[in-house]
Structure 1
């Protein structure tokens, strides 16, 4: 970039910074959402809650179904290394 281009686009710097930050936040959120270890821990928590009687079988099945679908999707989702 030349000096003139830098000066002309300087007012857009906060927008570029905000966009960059939003992209990093999205990447981290997706990494956590699709983390197989976190999904497995949540499945174990549901199982423990079901055994303790804290949630009904129907609620547990619904939550497990959603988590298993997310686990399957996590294998298709591209991973970006930090």
Structure 2
């Protein structure tokens, strides 16, 4: 498309820039969501809440399962990061 295409798409530059920024924010949010250290810290806080009586065993088990699933996805993803998508 070249120069003419860039000139024609110039009015859409703010939209393209916004989409890029949103993509960057989403990528960072996903990185933090699947960060093994953050997940382990959440597991520790969850156990503290159980010991303090803030949550019952059922709630603990439910949240622990979710965190362990995230941790498994994180570890699977980092193991396959050099070769593309894991699965």
Normalising by structure 2, what TM-score? Answer: 0.81
Of structures 1 and 2, the one scoring higher in RCO (CA 8 A, sep 6+) is 1
In structure 2, distance between residues paired with 1:40 and 1:61: 15
Which residue in the other structure is 2:27 paired with? 27
In structure 2, distance between residues paired with 1:5 and 1:48: 58
State the superposition RMSD in angstroms: 1.4
TM-fit CA distance, 1:14: 1.1
Gapped runs of 5+ residues in structure 2?
82-87
TM-fit CA distance, 1:15: 1.4
